A = this chain, B = another copy of it.
């Protein structure tokens, strides 16, 4: 594990909310991360689908950590805005959220992320895209 990956993983462990969601950080590369979120009954909305807020929270963390992979060692990342399009109801056993940096700037970093459902170990094709998240701008703290 590189120093960068260690730093990301250490920070992720400190996000108590990710643990409340039982989200796992499954991949860290330069400019991108993957987080997985299990489908669990206590994360659902009134129709039994995953609550949009649960998947949005994971997309937000994923974008933040993607930005952090490219930030200087003494910097932190805070979300200043996020935009989420919900493309289809989120049905599946596990959701994989993949975020990547679109542009890394001095004060703002723009990331995009996609979420999709995984069933039986395979990426579901068709209508299972759970979301599509854009514009998570990270602002390095001083």
The stretch among A25-33, A102-110, A117-125 that forms the contact with chain B is A102-110
Inter-chain contact B57/A85, CB cutoff 8 Å: no
Contact pick for A108, options B58, B134, B139, CB 8 Å: B139
A interface, by DSSP: helix, strand, loop or mixed?
Answer: mixed
Interface residues of A in 1-31 (CB under 8 A from B): 11-12, 14-20
Distance, CA A79 to CA B61, complexed state (A): 20
A21 to chain B, nearest CB (A): 8
Given A53-B58, A89-B78, A20 contacting B42 (CB threshold 8 A):
yes
- Please list 6 pairs of residues, one from A and one from B, whose beta carbons are closer than 8 Å in the complex, sorted by A's number: A53-B53, A53-B54, A56-B56, A78-B86, A81-B84, A83-B135
